[in-house]
Amino acid sequence: MHEESPKRVLLVGATGYAGRKLANYLLTSTDATVILSGRNRSKLGDLQSSLRAVDRSRRTELLELDAANIDVTALTDFDLLVNATGTGRHNALMIQACLERRADWIDMQMTNELLNPPTELRAKIERAGCRFVIQAGFHPGILAALVRHAAQQMDTIHSAIVGSVIRDEGGVPFTSGVTELVESFRDYKSEMYKDGRWQKLDYAAYPMVEFEYGFGKLRAYPVEMPELRRLPELLPDLRNTGFFVAGFNWIADYLVTPLMMLSSNIAPRQTASWLGHLLSWSTRTFARPPYGTVVQVDADGQCDDRPAHFRLSMFHEDAYVLTAVPTVAMIKQMLQDELQPGVHLMGLCCDPVQLLSDIERMGISITQRLDTIH
């Protein structure tokens, strides 16, 4: 019997913080050949050397590639493009490369042209038989999957609140992803789905979220996530949902964040970089234990005609690992051809049970508990 060749995964932005984590988990958790690409061949060589311990079968290749100036015709063949760059500004040529090779795509960007693709682009993707998965990672990424998983634990789900706290020891390094976070405040909406409709929350209504892993009760801020906006269509009994992020520290919360919101209305592109540096500096300078990243869902509904509460919490010391691992778990499903052609949000297209199982297998701590009230 003919043995199928391993899939070829092109990792764009391999030498970045997220890219390095992705490379490691792709090699340890899949059988794919991983093409490490980036602008600096020396850094790519260093990365390949650092992966020798997990790449004993020599499944890595190097490709010097500038995402802003891709020669589509000269690219090597690949089955899946993993876009680990922090910005969507250079996506057009990479999308073209995927379409010409009938290859799949996955990114971890907060926003890009694929979120609401033009009709013509969507049609091209579907005709080519490509699967484009966008907003992978943990936020965005896994949030809707957590709610869908919670719904599977109960007969009926009425409320599902997702919360997160990020407090890496040593702070958040400045990357293009931090700049993208700052730029996302241009469209900031303090909304949640409450009592069956999306509505704006006043500051006084921002909840205190009880986080696991020693973080305790923290004030959390609503953050709009497209993947959650589509949940009421999938879960018609759902009356309340939203995503809430706890702050980094008092400087980041009460100085940097208001500046980010103010600049979003004045000069967002001109101020994004220095505000990103300021945010990164504040997390490094004023970080206090406990450290790590938590994402969790608290859901209420009914089981066997009794009120029920379900909580699932995920934790890892490194926020970049908690971004890379769910992405690789999604890639595993894509490599098994378990997805229809088209453009999909990760949190809505994945198999939540398989995703969580793979995430836990890759070293993320997961606790979950269902309580019913008698």
CA dihedral (47, 50, 54, 57) positive or negative: positive
Is the whole model's pTM more than 0.85, yes or no?
Answer: yes
Residue 1 pLDDT level (bands cut at 50, 70, 90): very low
CATH fold, domain 143-318+365-372, is Dihydrodipicolinate Reductase; domain 2 (3.30.360)
Whether the Cβ atoms of residue 326 and residue 333 lie closer than 8 Å to each other: no
Which CATH number is correct for 8-134, 3.40.50.720, 3.30.70.1150, 3.30.930.10, 3.40.50.360? 3.40.50.720
What's the mean pLDDT in 92-106? Answer: 95
Q: In the predicted model, what is the mean pLDDT of the chain?
A: 90
Q: What is the DSSP string of 82-120?
A: EE--S-STTHHHHHHHHHHHT-EEEE--SS-TTSS--HH
Residue ranges of the chain that CATH labels 3.30.360.10: 143-318+365-372
What's the mean pLDDT in 61-70? Answer: 87
What's the mean pLDDT in 167-184? Answer: 73
Q: Which pLDDT belongs to residue 161? A: 97
Q: Which pLDDT belongs to residue 75? A: 86
| DSSP secondary structure letter of residue 57 | T
Does residue 270 or residue 367 have the better pLDDT? 367
In this predicted model, what pLDDT tens digit does every residue of 342-373 receive, in sequence order?
999 999 999 999 999 999 999 999 999 999 98
CA dihedral (171, 176, 182, 187) positive or negative: negative
3-class secondary structure, 168: coil
Residue ranges of the chain that CATH labels 3.40.50.720: 8-134
3-class secondary structure, 124: helix
Residue 53 reports pLDDT greater than 50: yes
Residue 2 pLDDT level (bands cut at 50, 70, 90): very low
Q: Which percentage of the chain shows pLDDT scores above 70? A: 93
